[in-house]
Each structure stands twice: as structure tokens, then as C-alpha cells.
Amino acid sequence: MLSQLLTISRNTFVESVRQPIYFILIALAGICLLLTTWSAGFTMGMTESGEVSGDNKLLLDVGMATIFVCGVLLAAFLATAVISREIDNKTVLTVVSKPVSRVTVVLGKYIGVAGAILIAGITMSVFLLLCVRHEVMSTSADDVDGPVVLFSLLAVGIAVAVAIWCNFFYGWVFPQTATLLLLPLIVAAYVGVLLVSKRWEIQAPSSDLKPQITIAAASVVMALLVLTAIATAASARLGQVMTLVVCCGAFMFGMLSNHFLGSRAIDSSFVGVIGAAQPQLANQATLDQNGDVYNITLEFDPRRQLKPGLPFYYGENPNGFQMALAPYEPYKGSLTEFAELGNRNNTPALVIVESEGPGKTLKVQRVGADTPFVTRPPRTGDYIFLAPAVFNPVFLAAWAIVPNIQFFWLVDAISQDQPIPAGHMLLVLLYGVAQIGVFLSLAVALFQRREVG
């Protein structure tokens, strides 16, 4: 089975990179990214923190969107060309008529197309990294980045020239030769750019290296592999036009999944963000005993006035998912009588006992029994709520099933200078692998009953 799988994968990969649309969309992405450096000068602020600032934030946003759109179109076209078209032309009969399972056919087709998408995604991502190094040409006084222009033109020029030469004299397929040569050449060009500054001076590679942008680009490529699995499932039953519609629909609805499904799956709204949280006494750090007090300072003014007596909830997610404490009955006793406030017979709760102004500075106290209901104390960056989250099981299930493309979109974190944790990338990877597994299983189920004779 492994030998059959590798053979089908290799043939599918070669057939994919030979498609003219493959080279066209990669070239189109490169041209669009080039033009973005001249057209993204809209003054988005001049902050100097983070890997991008000012107009380059818009360059990064538009550039990532360009990679996404071109990748979706590539996935739809390639999956249709190697699956749906072979079924329509009856050429798939030469495979399934042999002792080759349909599961092997589907997996082999996906691996071949995914390999082509991976090469295209890496190539387009390196184009974006080169554009980010060049930066936006906001005015005519801005200098052109000579190493970026020269090395990029050399990489593209050599790849195209060799492809033309080999096509004319040896009959090699132009799209295949050009794209497979372009990947190592453009990566070499980027390495050269990292070693040479804008003023043609030797520098350390880390000077212009953008690790966060590289991680965000890798996440986008992972999303393209998920969309490739969706295209594979759709092409097992549909033609090219409908496969393209399904892929674009999955992309658009996946980007809006949080709005249409997530906002209805969890009914909760945070009122503020913790800027600093400190226990009043050292032995109160765990917030697990009656009378423990925390001093809370909000990062911004709260969305509503936080008065003494209100309940206090917190968690790391802005939608209220997985709060750091269990639901409890709000405290309704007196805040001025110590005996009432310290009564251990009360049910456990967190209550705001002091508040300054609209509530930007708070004092939160634990009251009631010492029953464990707090999983961890509050910390910087937590979101504050006045009630536990309410879950809608129908929308929550739909939100979990529909591919959430927003999980792969990390540009906002870079624009806001928020580091992307390694643990988050691991979760994104696991989520992508799970989605690929689901849609490949669907593709196998659809292809098993497909009449190919």
C-alpha cells in the first residue's frame, strides 16, 4: 500500500505543478505583492514597536490576504484537475481497476496536491518576506532596497530563463521547471538579503529576520493545506466550478465563523482587561481561602462602571470560554460588616469590595467557604466578566465542526506587537491536522460510492 501511495502521490504532484494555472497564480501573487509596496502608503500610524510599523502593517495584511486568496484558488483548481477531471475522463479507471483501494487513491491525490500547495505557499511567503524587508514606498523620496530588487530579479529571471531554455531544447514542461527552480532560488535570494543591508553592507542575518511574520506565514500555509483537503473532498463529487465555489465559500465562512457562530455559541461580554494583579498579602496569592484579597488594576477604563458588591469573574479568553473559576452565586451580604463578609457558611464567591472612579482600580475579596472553585489567581492580560458564560450547544457544535480559518490568521497579533507563543502554534498545528483528517475521511466516504465506470 505504501508503494502504491507514493506512486500516486508522485504522479499527482508532477501533474499538479505542470498545470499552467500553477505558475500563473504564483506569478500573480508575486506581482501583487510587488505592487503592494507601492500602493500601501496610507499612513497607518508610525509606531516603531514590533516587526512591522506604520504603513508596513497594511503591507503585511494585504500580503497575507494575497497569499490566502491565491492559495485557495490553487487548491480548488489543482484538486479538480487531478480528481474530478480524471473521473469525468474515465482515466481513474486505470487505477481503481487494479488492486488499489480507493482510500489509497484519495490519500495519494491529496498528498500530491498538498505537496504542490506547500511549494507554492513557501514561495509566496518568501515573496512577502522580501517585500516586508523592502518596506512600503510611501513617498518618492524613499530609497529602493537594492539587494531585495537585485536578488529577487536574479532568482525569478534565472528560473524563467532556464525553464524557457529547457522547454525549447529539451521539451521540459515550462510551469514545472520554472516553479520548482524558483523555490530554492528565491529562498537563496532571501538568505542573501538577510546577509546584506539596504546600503550593501554585510550584516548579521538576525538584523532583518522576522520570526513572527515567518510563523504567521507558516500558519497561513497550514490553512491552505486544510483548504486543500476541503477541495479534495469536494472534487470527489463536484466539477471544477462547484469545487471552486465550495473552497471560496469555506474560506469566506471560515473567516466569519467567529462572528456568525462563535458569538452565538458563547453568550458573554467582558468589561475590562487586567493590567496588573497583586495579592494584598503574600499568603493570599493562591486566592483559595476566605478573606483573601487581590488588588486589580485595569489596563483601560472598564466598559461599564464596576461598583462594590458586583461579582468578579476572569479568564484568558475574551469570549468567556474556560474561565479560571467555577460559576457561583453572587454575594448578597453586607460589605461593611466584617462578621457578614467573613462568614464561612456562605457559598464561595468573589466580590468587588472597593472601587476607584469608574472601576479602573479594584479590590477583590474571596468570601464564603474554603471550597476550591478558583483554578488559578488573576493575572495580567486576563479578561474580566460580571457573570459566567452561557453556552448554546447547537451553535457550539456548529462552531467546532466548521473550519475556523481565523485560528490561522495571526497578522493581528503581529500588528499589535503580541508575541505568538509556541504553545499556540502547537494548538494551531493540531487543529489543522484534525481538520485535514476530517475532510479526508469525508473525501474517502464520497469517493467510495462514486461511479467511475
3-state secondary structure 139-153: CCCCCCCHHHHHHHH
Q: Residue 196 corresponds to which cell in the numbers above?
A: 546584506
pLDDT band at 140 (very low <50, low <70, confident <90, very high): low
User: Is residue 257 predicted with pLDDT exceeding 60?
Assistant: yes
For the chain, give the number of residues: 453
> Each residue of 150-173: pLDDT tens digit?
999 999 999 999 999 999 999 999
β-sheet with 272-279: strand ranges across: 313-315, 383-385, 272-279, 293-298, 361-367, 349-356
The mean pLDDT of 359-366, rounded to a whole number, is 89
Give residue 378's pLDDT: 92
Secondary structure class of 80 (helix, strand, coil): helix
DSSP 199: T
Give residue 91's pLDDT: 63
pLDDT band at 226 (very low <50, low <70, confident <90, very high): very high
User: Is residue 97 predicted with pLDDT exceeding 70?
Assistant: no
Q: What residue has cell string 484558488?
A: 73
Secondary structure class of 380 (helix, strand, coil): coil
Phi and psi for 138 in degrees, rounded to 5? -70, -35
Residue pair 409/255 in contact (Cβ under 8 Å)? The answer is yes
DSSP 406: G
Q: What letter represents residue 96's amino acid? A: V
> Each residue of 283-309: pLDDT tens digit?
888 888 888 999 999 988 898 888 889
Domain ranges of the chain: 2-265+400-448, 272-388
Residue of 301, 283, 257, 273 lying closest to 418 (CA atoms): 273
pLDDT band at 184 (very low <50, low <70, confident <90, very high): very high
Phi and psi for 266 in degrees, rounded to 5? -130, 115
How would you label 308-330 residue by residue, b for 16+ Cβ within 10 Å and e otherwise?
eebbbbbbeeebbeebbbeebee
Q: What residue has cell string 514561495?
A: 123
> Each residue of 427-450: pLDDT tens digit?
999 999 999 999 999 988 888 776
Residue pair 23/174 in contact (Cβ under 8 Å)? The answer is yes
Q: Residue 410 corresponds to which cell in the numbers above?
A: 495571526
Q: What residue has cell string 474554603?
A: 370
Give residue 113's pLDDT: 92
The mean pLDDT of 34-53, rounded to a whole number, is 66
Q: What letter represents residue 318's amino acid? A: P
Residue pair 351/333 in contact (Cβ under 8 Å)? The answer is no
Q: What residue has cell string 510563523?
A: 215
The Cα–Cα gap between 334 and 73 comes to: 63
DSSP string, 344-379: TTSPPEEEEEEEETTTTEEEEEEES-----BSS---
